[in-house]
Amino acid sequence: MTTLEHRLTRLVRDVPDFPKKGIVFKDITPLLADAAALREATKAMAMPYWESSIDHVVGIESRGFILGAIVARALDVGFIPVRKPGKLPAKVMSLEYALEYGSDTLEVHADACMSEARVLIVDDVLATGGTAGAAGELMERLGARVVGFSFLLQLSALKGRERLAERRVESVLTL
């Protein structure tokens, strides 16, 4: 583990039984509260894509908004929010996707980007890969080209990287 990884990992706390019993939630709010750590983490998230000619960063609700906006600024590109249903004011494109226990829906403005735009999808944690995969599919339905995914933290035991196997996936931390 590098010095950066060690420093950032110490700022991610485990919250047992959240949001339900048996789940250990990885809370990144201590990392977000540390200006130097936040700057270094988002720089590390952007760095693998500096030479990738990205047009937009796509952030997945909600912590993906925080990290994605900073990564977009680092790459000097625009930011596109992908949200839960009913949160965007203009015409949207929606995608319902399966979760382990049920389903969920993501939405993006139908005019969020031009066809063939090169996008980077950002979120805080890669767990099972369901939400990230759905965000990628949603952007492709808009006509965008998903260049890759960038995560602050990857939970390797949940095998999300395998679900995104055909995609470029980068993460700063792997636990």
Catalytically active residues, by annotation: 63, 100
Burial 106-121 (b: 16+ CB within 10 A, else e): bbbbeebbeeebbbbb
Retrieve residue 32's tokens. Answer: 């977000």
Report the Cα 99 to chain-centroid distance in Å: 17
Report residue 97 as tokens: 């996707």
Distance from C-alpha of 133 to C-alpha of 145, rounded to nearest angstrom: 13
Region for residue 116 given its phi and psi (left: phi exceeds 0; alpha: psi -120 to 50; beta: otherwise)? left
Q: Are 93 and 115 in contact (CB under 8 A)?
A: no
Helix 63-75 vs helix 35-46: crossing angle, to nearest 10: 70
Residue 101 in 3-state DSSP? Answer: coil
